[in-house]
Structure 1
Amino acid sequence: MRRQLMWTLVVRSFAALMFGALALVWPEVTVLALALLFGAYALADGLALLTSALHRGGDVGHRTAHAAGGALGIVIGVITVAWPGITALALVSLIGAWAVGAGAAEIWAAARFRHELHHEWMLFAAGGASVVAGVLVWARPDAGALVIAQVVGVYAMIVGLLTLAAAWRLHGATAAAHRPRPTRHAWHT
């Protein structure tokens, strides 16, 4: 279970880091290019979350949070990729809705996950960054593609790094749980 969650986090973090890097390196993208980049990112993130929800055992609440976040990402990704020529205001609304919804689902999953590991603060922080980015994008829909690309790019980089750190910590905890414990012999007491 932990191993599959770790790989889900790794896939999500690399998708976020790739999208964030492209949005920051290429901030003067057109609305059409930004829509396609964002749609691909939301779709990859949604598929990773939904796959995790369907293949994991254990906590129903955590699986439900992943399923909700995954379904939202897939729907928003498909809408964005299917209609990339939507207006900038509609794109901002989609990005904001996705960021707030995905962040809320991440916070919910982190709250459910905190009893299994004690490194959930990274997932809380990633969810919080997502909600803040969504609210910032909604607050200034008139900011233009350049500013939106920069805000979403920074958000994606932060979330990608936090998610990758959470995967690394989960890997360490899983490896520690599988290490053989030293045996105590009578002459060591």
Structure 2
Amino acid sequence: MDNATSPELSRLAGLLARHWWVLLLRGLAAIAFGLLAWFHPALTIAVLVLMFGAYALVDGVLGVWTALAGRRHNEHWVWLLVWGLASIAIGIITFTSPGVTTLVLLMFIAVWAIVTGLAQLLTAIRLRKEIRGEWLLGIAGLGSVIFGLLLIVIPGAGALAMAWLIAVYSVLLGVVLVLLSLRVRRLGAGQP
């Protein structure tokens, strides 16, 4: 049996066609979020940081509860407790000092970019006698190092760039979902 005509695929296509409007709403929501992120990047970053703080706090509380509940049956429960308490502390720090959390996250990204960029540069140098076009890897490495250094020197620009990347992704995803919703709507109506 051809995959294009399999009963499972037909059911999925039928489900999408009947609920095309859900895809449309998801696409419009993604576009709206993307535009909000583009025009209000500071708000986007603040919300992401606070979501991280909420996650860390909930994770910590659940970790402490697990450690205390299992202390009779697990001799290493103290490590679970430390893990949970550390998560709670990070969650509290995130809520009381969200700017510090944002800055630390950007510094992690900066260090990662510099280290990977240097590794790419070294790899390009080692490959220069073995392959052609190694200079492309060198340029990518140099770009990563420059990006990392810029994040350290101008962290606000890095935060702004991160918000704009999220915005562009959201808008593109939204457009694709809207187009898909219109396509499956026609499928449900019997049009190609």
Greater relative CO (CA pairs within 8 A, separation 6+)? 2
TM range (shorter): 0.3 to 0.5
More helix by share: 2
TM-score, normalization by structure 1: 0.38
